[in-house]
Amino acid sequence: MNIELQSCALFIIFTIFVMFFREKKLDLMNRKLFLRALFACFLCLIFDIMSVVMISHAVKDGFSEPVTKIVCKLYIMLLTLQGYFSFIYASTSIIPSSGRRLKIIQIVYNIFFAVGEILILLLPIGYEATGRIVYSYGLSTSVSYFMCALFILSTIITAFTFRRDISGRRFSAMLLWQGVWLLAALIQFIFPQFLLVGFASAFGMVILYVQLENPSAFIDPATGLFTANALSIYVNDRYRFDRPFSMFTAKIHFLTPGVDINMERAAVVRTARALMALGTEPAFRIDDDTFCVVYDSSGKMFDKAKNIKMQKDGVKDIPAKGSYLLIPDSGEMKDPEEFFRFLHTYVDAEQEVLVADGSLVDRLREQNRIKDLIDDALANDHIEVFYQPIYDVKNDCFPVAEALARIRKSDGEIVPPGEFIPLAEENGQIIPIGTRVFDKVCRFISSGEAGKLGLKFIEVNLSAAQFDLENPALFVLKYTEKYNIDPGMINLEITETAAAKNRDIMLMNIQKLSEKGVTFSLDDFGTGRSNLDYFVNMPVRNIKFDYSFTQGYFNNEKTRHVLSGMADIFHKMDMHIVSEGIETEEQMKAMKDIGVEYIQGFYYSRPLPETEFLEFLAEKNS
């Protein structure tokens, strides 16, 4: 009897079952469908072996013909079932679930499958046994082969159709799996003595298990928890099949720098053990020191999170504290992308316990809206430069202006900087914004029109991020040379925060640029935390009193004394003062009285686009 290959295949499937069930598993839809296809393959192999044995005995020993035909039909019906389950597994994991397309396709194939199984049951079947050649034949068998070919070809076509929507790993695994099965079916159809279909289907299950469904691939070896990649797959699965969940994250913060590696490892392992002891819900290690657990209900999630916090508060031998982000309802986020954006944004929040509610999600959506707005403005050159004139008290004119970034929407509406600059500084978009602004300022200067109207130089902000990721000296000189302008017409504004964060790099670049004629101002004085002796030694020409610091002069007696005293100190150091945020004549006169050299604010002018700024200079400097 020709059952050696089927017996080997049966052993292979049994081995996969053992490995599959002994590993920790995630409750994924793909896993359930794979398990269903695996079980169908297992039953199909058993009945394949039974049909070979019974056909052999029926022909040689006169075993019951009706029973033999029933077993043969059950085998080919199970073969069709296996093909159907395989297509459902493949289509569910490949075809995007949004819309009705997946449901319609599967309904159609459900009908095909039901009709095929009925035909197999009703149509005649025969069998043959000659030596080691044992097989069944007839219309019933032909229908089974047709149905299996339909499911295999449909799976291959689906894989190619949605190739862009799936990973290369899944695409190649699907093609190899179905290709092996199709080749074996063709060989067995042409040469019935070669019973390859059962072995090929088992080999295909091995391919799927190794490439796509191996649970151990999702386990972090250091802790035994699931990995961050597993969390991504799990969350996508829950959203795709509309299964809301709750989740809490726990992050370890070591209180002393340079914690011993063994102590750090011990903290991680103890946290992992505590999470696994909470119950059977899946726990994940999503970063070196960040963990999460997913629950079906928020009530259970809150209870378990409270338990973990109590355990952490009781730990005294490790210098660390914990912070916790609780997400009661994943439905607050519309899709996995928004969920992970939320997670990555708030998992490092300063609060010890942060509960995700609708307002927090709305805040994130607003941030994402602004980020997309900035990306669109950069891509379509909607970044504009406005210029706010700065009044020279001594010479009664406007020889200076500050360049300020604005975004103009497609409908013409101007987006103020307070709406997008803080977020741009957080996410790194401030660098391309700064580059675009500086390019346009240099181009404006190179036209020569503002210089003819008395403009001596333009102040341009330089962000802290540009000290981190760029060479400011190279960046500035590149554009002054590109537009062939005098570097002396550029005054770079540096915030106290940038100065404190990047002192050595900043001083090196200031020296290089000062040699070329570029001047510097310390911006937003009064809002930073730098030591006085730090910026006193900075080679800057101007000190800009921040709006809030200036307004404090008129609202707080102590601030008035501080500001007046600082003005005296800076004057003795031969520095010039620019007072920002001056809005009334009274404020203007008060700043003049304490010797401020430059005044900037709405009292004289709001920031103006290029054309209006040139008109302003023509009128005021004439």
Asked if pLDDT for residue 355 goes beyond 60, the answer is yes
Report residue 496: phi and psi, to 5°.
Answer: -60, -35
CATH class of 219-356: alpha beta
Tokens of 45: 């192999």
> Fold match between 4-216 and 219-356?
no
**Which whole number is the average pLDDT over 456-473?**
75
Local confidence band at 607 (pLDDT 50, 70, 90 cut-offs): very high
Measured between alpha carbons, how far apart are the two ends of the chain, in Å?
A: 109
Tokens of 354: 């942060």
Asked if pLDDT for residue 110 goes beyond 90, the answer is yes
Domain regions of the chain by residue span: 4-216, 219-356, 381-548+577-620
CB-hemisphere CA count at 13 Å for 167? 7
pLDDT of residue 1: 45
CATH homologous superfamily for the domain 4-216: Rhodopsin 7-helix transmembrane proteins (1.20.1070.10)
Whole-number average pLDDT of the chain: 86
Local confidence band at 556 (pLDDT 50, 70, 90 cut-offs): confident
Cα torsion 408, 411, 414, 416: sign: negative
pLDDT of residue 446: 95
CA dihedral defined by 88, 92, 97, 100, rounded to 10 degrees?
-10
Considering the chain, what percentage of its residues have pLDDT values greater than 90?
Answer: 35
Question: What does pTM read for this prediction?
Answer: 0.68
Asked if pLDDT for residue 128 goes beyond 90, the answer is no
Q: Is 89 exposed, middle or buried (0-12, 13-18, 19+ CB in 10 A)?
A: buried
Local confidence band at 526 (pLDDT 50, 70, 90 cut-offs): low
Distances (CA, A) of 525 to 6, 496, 551, 572: 82, 7, 13, 17
Which of residues 535 and 100 earns the better pLDDT score?
Answer: 100
pLDDT of residue 305: 87
**Which whole number is the average pLDDT over 129-157?**
86
Which of residues 254 and 285 earns the better pLDDT score?
Answer: 285
Which of residues 500 and 142 earns the better pLDDT score?
Answer: 142
Convert the pLDDT of each residue in 361-410 to its tens digit: 888 888 888 889 999 999 999 999 999 999 999 999 999 999 999 998 88
Local confidence band at 199 (pLDDT 50, 70, 90 cut-offs): confident
Q: Does domain 381-548+577-620 have CATH number 3.20.20.450?
A: yes
